Amino acid sequence: MSDSPDEIHVKRPVTSAAGIPGIQHAVKIAINEMGVVRGARTLLSMNQVDGFDCPGCAWPDSSPGKRSHAEFCENGAKAAAWEATRDRVGREFFSAHSVTDLLEQDDHLLEHHGRLTEPMYLAPGADHYAPISWHDAFALVAERLRSLPDPNRAAFYTSGRASNEAAFVYQLLARRYGTNNLPDCSNMCHESSGAALNETIGVGKGTVSLDDITDHAELIVVVGQNPGTNHPRMLSALESAKRRGARIVTANPLPEAGLVRFKNPQNVRGLVGRGTKLTDRYLPVRVNGDLAMFAGVNKALLAMEDAAPGTIVDRPFIETYCDGFEVVCDVWRALDWSTLESQSGLTRSQMEEFAGDVVGADSVVVSWAMGLTQHRNAVATIREIVNFLLLRGNIGRPGAGPSPIRGHSNVQGDRTMGVWEKMPDSFLDRLGREFGFDPPRAHGHDTVDTIRAMRDGTIDVFFALGGNFVAATPDSDVTKEAMKNCSLTVHVATKLNRSHLCHGTEALLLPCLSRSERDVQASGEQFLTVEDSMSMVHTTRGRLEPGSEHLRSEVAIVNGIGAALLGDVVDWSAMSDDYAVIRRHIENVIDGFEDFEERVRVPGGFTLPRGPRDSRTFDTATGKARFTVNRPDAIDVPEGHLVLQTLRSHDQFNTTVYGLDDRYRGVKGGRKVVFVNAADLADRGLSDGDIVDLISVWSDGERYARRFRAVAYPTPRGCAAAYFPEANVLVPLDSTALGSNTPTSKSVIIRIERSSATVS
């Protein structure tokens, strides 16, 4: 697959999502990767009550009675096909390809080679991975960890695909060994949402359930999210909401196809008609203009209340359940419209009209994703959304509340299981009591701090349960060098990726079962559990034969290392033999999992308690829901520069690149594109189709990404967009969100220049 910008074709973006092209694309990929029979079998058991959970995003399933036979979307089909491929990467592959050679290949090709089949070891100085037995691999990890002078010289990364059971034993392994260094993909993802929600409503996740969207909300605000690509099944939910008369407001610097119109491939109307118009009001907010926008809407609501007291603000709710209201009102009253307009890129009347939609609705849900979380002021922006909801009592009643839409299929569950570098003492106390040891208390490193520590030589062993650390993290060149500083890097993975090639002195690749595969242990066939974006915990059971006889489950791998390393008070092998043993421990350590085994076996599973939703209880510092003062600001873009957001194309799952097209945005045949307003191109003497270099400007110097095709695109002046992970070289490691330390992947200051290496 070539990725030359000269081969990229661009046409007008489309204005409706899914429909027949979506089905055709999904079926084609499934057949290519899996063949007809395996393909059909895989897709039909996905998201069924007794099947496996889609390995793609964390969107919830409908309740069992409401599920269709094909409960998946085009991108879920791609994710499942990609891991169920018939291609294999075994010992012959590694003896034929050196690490140096493989580094020349792009991310698409590396994964496209197929599934890893057996444990591989890269010896110091070697350039080829060679087979190693599971026993020796576990012994090696154990020996290297034991010989570290301090357990905090190791870090244990998690990507959000790990099941609850795997995540629970993994954090136990790290803590029993002696460290809280548990960085995870969430640090780069919804950490800002967790920080803002924990502080203001006392729970770090959303409080909305699927039926709040489908059946109850009168207004749904979708901001900083592209569900047509990243959570396609959300479009069906939005369609249901529209059919019963709900309004949808979207705020996004890009007019994303899925939010404009949706052709539901699961009904006739979607296949032959024009589909359903989803968005009623589209607000082309500037990149990073959301804090100003929500502050403006709050100011407008308050002005209406001041003009007609008792008509807009839910006083009884605020008096009973909230604090901080009067202080924040004074701040809103004093805000100046012209500043809010220039920061948000919206006019005062656009914000006032949005406020009008709010007043016309008895219940409001706000849903968001990475468009809000990856900015310097992300935590403040999300706290301002909480203010917005609290103003009218839009929390703790049907059809209302905050709804951060999670990314990886079990990223939320992994957090619930304790994968976090700063779990509260209450959790550590119970974990220690359950297993009879004293867990470390000092907070560990998150993702950015782990990179810094590896760079600075204070971490020696890097262990990853899934993911693609060097490609997903910011400042790719810095991270790659940091990985090379380690003495040992270990990856539990399904497919080969760049992180396996940017290795420490020694490296191990430990191949695991994927979610769609049958998992048989000493006590028989096992199932696993996951938690979706709306706090539903349910089972997932693999159906396909394992990709190789040597694969082990993630649970078995973690427990194998636990036994080799610690072999002590924790009965690691009992937990591998029967995952119900793990679930009993989870029940004893984590609230909300009472009678876990019985309740999770009920079709559809159960919902974890969420105080704000269930009983308007807020476990915050004051025991109340908290209004907070968030002074509007927006990224300062120097003259002649643009603010670049890095985002996903339709043909990728994070660093996994399925293909080079981005159908909805009209891009075909390549990923090195930069979307810019036509007038901003013209100002620079550039036009659509020119090949440009992107140069990011940060206090420590400039970073380059060369030879991107400029695409004139309807985005506000001063804004630009390019795909992740290609643009990650431009994101400075030290540019992170206040209060969450999340890399600011959606606000990178850049200049663009005609590429000096342009070929016409």
Ligand X SMILES: Nc1nc2c(c(=O)[nH]1)N[C@H]1C(S)=C(S)[C@@H](COP(=O)(O)OP(=O)(O)OC[C@H]3O[C@@H](n4cnc5c(=O)[nH]c(N)nc54)[C@H](O)[C@@H]3O)O[C@H]1N2
- Say if residue 725 is preceded by a cis peptide, omega within 30 of 0: yes
The answer to whether 724 contacts ligand X (rule: CB under 6 A) is yes
Identity of the amino acid at 665:
R
Per DSSP, the residues of 49-77 read: TTSB--SSB-PPPPPGGG--SS---HHHH
Candidate segments 308-316, 396-404, 437-445, 726-734, binder of ligand X by CB under 6 A: 726-734
Give the separation between CA 554 and CA 537, rounded to whole angstroms: 19
Closest CB to ligand X among residues 207, 473: 473
Nearer to ligand X, 617 or 728 (CB): 728
Q: Kindly write down the DSSP assignment for every residue of 368-410, as one continuous string.
A: E-HHHHSSTTHHHHHHHHHHHHHHTT-SSSTT-EEEEPPSBTT
Q: Cβ atoms within 10 A of the Cβ of 730, count?
A: 25
DSSP state letters, 405-468: PPSBTTHHHHHHTT-STT--HHHHHHHHHHHTS----S----HHHHHHHHHTT---EEEEESS-
94-102, 185-193, 388-396, 429-437 -> range binding ligand X (CB under 6 A): 185-193
Return the one option of ligand X, Mo ion, none that residue 546 interacts with (CB less than 5 to 8 A, by type).
none
Closest approach, Cβ 618 to ligand X, in A, equals: 26
Inter-residue contact 253 to 286 (CB < 8 Å) = yes
Q: At its nearest, how many Å lie between ligand X and the CB of residue 190?
A: 7
Determine which residue in the list 169, 195, 257, 285 makes contact with ligand X, applying CB under 6 A: 285
Question: Alpha carbon 173 to chain centroid distance?
Answer: 24
Q: Does 728 bind ligand X (CB under 6 A)?
A: yes
Three-point CA angle 532, 535, 540, nearest 5°? 40
The strand pairing partners of 701, in sequence order, are 698
| Nearest residue (CB) to Mo ion, 58 versus 563 | 58
Only segment of 236-244, 312-320, 368-376, 691-699 that touches ligand X (CB under 6 A): 368-376
By CB neighbour count within 10 A (0-12 exposed, 13-18 middle, 19+ buried), where does 429 fall?
middle
Looking at beta carbons only, is 22 or 407 nearer to Mo ion?
407
For ligand X, the closer of residues 214 and 645 by Cβ is: 645
Q: Could you say whether residue 180 binds ligand X (CB under 6 A)?
A: no
495 binds, among Mo ion, ligand X, none (CB under 5 to 8 A by kind): ligand X
CA pair distance 156, 460, nearest whole angstrom: 11
CA atoms within 13 A on the CB side of 349: 0
Which part of the chain contacts ligand X (CB under 6 A), choosing from 250-258, 391-399, 594-602, 733-741?
A: 250-258
Nearer CB in complex with ligand X: 492/752:
492
Cα separation of 525 and 527, whole Å?
7
Strand 120-122, strand 506-511: pairing: antiparallel
Residue 633 beta carbon to ligand X: minimum distance, rounded to whole angstroms: 13
Give the shortest CB-167-to-Mo ion separation in angstroms: 15
d(C-alpha 673, C-alpha 696), whole Å = 16
Among 22, 407, 732, 739, interactor with ligand X by CB under 6 A: 407
d(CA 512, CA 516): 12
In the complex, the smallest distance separating the C-beta of residue 458 from ligand X, rounded to whole angstroms, is: 22
Give min distance, CB of 467 to Mo ion, in A: 10
Question: In the window 477-516, what residues touch ligand X (CB under 6 A)?
Answer: 492-495, 497, 512, 514-515
Stretch binding ligand X (CB under 6 A), from 130-138, 148-156, 435-443, 644-652: 644-652
Rounded to 5 degrees, what are φ and ψ at 151? -60, -25
- The correct pick among 205, 445, 707, 746 for binding ligand X (CB under 6 A) is 746
Which residue from 408, 585, 624, 663 is in contact with ligand X, where contact means CB under 6 A?
408
Q: Per rule CB under 6 A, is residue 84 in the interface with ligand X?
A: no
Tell me whether residue 253 or residue 407 sits nearer to Mo ion (CB atom): 407
- Residue that the structure tokens 């693999």 belong to: 542
Q: How far is the CB of 290 from ligand X (least distance, A)?
A: 5
List the single partner that 671 binds among Mo ion, ligand X, none, CB under 5 to 8 Å by kind: none
The interface partner of residue 465, options being ligand X, Mo ion, none and the CB cut-off 5 to 8 Å by kind, is: ligand X
Query: Residues 442, 446, 452, CA angle at the centre, nearest 5°?
Result: 105
Distance CA(484)–CA(505), nearest Å, equals 7
Binding residues for ligand X, total number by CB under 6 A? 61
What 3-state class would DSSP assign to 504? coil
CB nearer to ligand X: pick between 42 and 652: 652
Stretch that binds ligand X, among 11-19, 285-293, 318-326, 335-343 (CB under 6 A): 285-293
Phi first, then psi: give them for residue 81, nearest 5 degrees: -60, -40
- Candidate segments 171-179, 313-321, 366-374, 603-611, binder of ligand X by CB under 6 A: 366-374
- Choose among Mo ion, ligand X, none what residue 42 binds, the Cβ cut-off being 5 to 8 Å by kind: none
Q: Which of 282, 237, 332, 398 is nearest to 632 (CA)?
A: 332
**Does 224 engage in binding with ligand X (CB under 6 A)?**
yes
Query: Which partner, Mo ion, ligand X, none, binds residue 18 by CB below 5 to 8 Å per kind?
Result: none
**From the list ligand X, Mo ion, none, which binds 229 (C-beta under 5 to 8 Å, kind-based)?**
ligand X
* 606-607 β-sheet, strand order: 528-531, 536-540, 606-607
Which of 716, 187, 140 has the alpha carbon at shortest distance from 472? Answer: 187
Closest distance to Mo ion from the beta carbon of 605 (Å): 22
Smallest gap from residue 107 Cβ to ligand X (A): 8
Asked whether position 290 contacts ligand X by CB under 6 A, the answer is: yes
- Given ligand X, Mo ion, none, residue 656, with its beta carbon under 5 to 8 Å by kind, binds ligand X
| Structure-token match 């006392």, residue found | 202
Confirm if 488 and 515 have CB atoms less than 8 A apart. no
User: Would you count residue 252 as binding ligand X (CB under 6 A)?
Assistant: yes
Residues in touch with Mo ion (CB under 5 A) = 189, 407
Q: Count the neighbouring beta carbons within 10 Å of the beta carbon of residue 308.
A: 8
Q: Is 653 in the site for ligand X (CB under 6 A)?
A: yes
Determine if 646 is a binding residue for ligand X (CB under 6 A). yes
Residue ranges that bind ligand X, judged by CB under 6 A: 56-57, 75, 111, 159-161, 185, 188-189, 223-226, 229-231, 251-254, 256, 285, 287-288, 290, 369-371, 407-408, 465-469, 472, 492-495, 497, 512, 514-515, 554, 645-648, 652-656, 724, 727-728, 731, 745-746
